[in-house]
Amino acid sequence: MRVLITGGAGFIGSHLCEYVLNRGDECVSVDNLITGRLSNIAHLLDHPKFSFRQHNISEPLFADGPIDLILHFASPASPADYLAHPIATLKVGSLGTHNALGLAKSKNSRFIIASTSEVYGDPEIHPQREDYWGNVNPIGPRGCYDEAKRFAEAITMAYHRAHGVNTGIVRIFNTYGPRMRLNDGRVLPALMGQALRNEPMTIFGDGSQTRSFCFVSDLVEGIMRLAGSSEHYPVNIGNPSEITIRQFAEEIRSLVPGYTGRIEQLPLPQDDPKRRRPDITRAREILGWEPKVDRLDGLKRTLEYFRNELGL
């Protein structure tokens, strides 16, 4: 197969590139490097079946030759990134998705859009099922990301219904692992960076809000199973093991011997979801998928990556 991955130099995108190459397929990585990093794919650049194009998918993209699968993963994805780049986030979710879908239509490709648990907003049902329409503030500070992804889902389904494009939608819940950026603003790299630097570990509010963390290798396996299926409707991919942010901070602190700092509270951001846990019934039934990496094992592997990043 020949696979094109937008956002291919990003955290998840780079792992997808690696997966595609490891199974023997050709991979074209496209990224404008607004949040992606060439260091994420440096080890792939000399691979005979890998190519990289620096391009903003919000501008039209043309590609020679056949493309069997398009994985559209281009977008700022952490709160710090999409709050810093709100217009770019909205454009890549709308114009970028439109361009990627147009390419899929012209190449008769299978197309997978990276959506997010953020389409559920601050959810009123728990755990979140794919048939839940969400509780999103469209004009709040997080709206640039939430609504970009909701629009991306809508136009993806429109291309499937109107043009017969072979589309799929993956709703990604909190994911972690090597190649995250220490400064991307997400809770795990923030807490790990603070612990490794022996700084106070900061949480928002009293830390009673919950998240469910999935290791990146599990996520990638779920995405690729969806890509190989005939499913068109959204599928949650995430780990249903739920934990409070305060408990999560305590877990990370316990993995850093000699840490002498303390956990400090900051004001809770506007529209921050109180609970987040995927219902993965559809993933189990349709894809035969469920996460396998234990959180403690995944945290240790990620912590080692950040130690190397900080030169410790």
Going by C-alpha positions, the residue among 291, 299, 285, 211 that lies closest to residue 254 is: 299
pLDDT in tens, 175-225: 999 999 998 889 999 999 999 999 999 999 999 999 999 999 999 999 999
* Structural domains in the chain, sorted by start: 2-179+214-239+277-292 (3.40.50.720)
Strands 242-244 and 210-212: antiparallel
The one catalytic residue among 82, 120, 145, 176? 145
How does residue 268 score in pLDDT terms, banded at 50, 70 and 90?
confident
pLDDT in tens, 59-112: 999 999 999 999 999 999 999 999 999 999 999 999 999 999 999 999 999 999
Residue 259 falls in the annotated catalytic set: no
- pTM, to two decimals: 0.96
269 has a pLDDT exceeding 90:
no
Number of other CB atoms surrounding residue 41 within 10 Å = 23
- Going edge to edge, which strands form the sheet with 50-54? 50-54, 26-31, 2-6, 69-72, 110-116, 166-172, 235-237
Mean pLDDT of the chain: 96
Take residue 37 and report the two structure tokens written for it. 């990093």
pLDDT in tens, 105-164: 999 999 999 999 999 999 999 999 999 999 999 999 999 999 999 999 999 999 999 999
End-to-end CA distance of the chain, in Å? 40
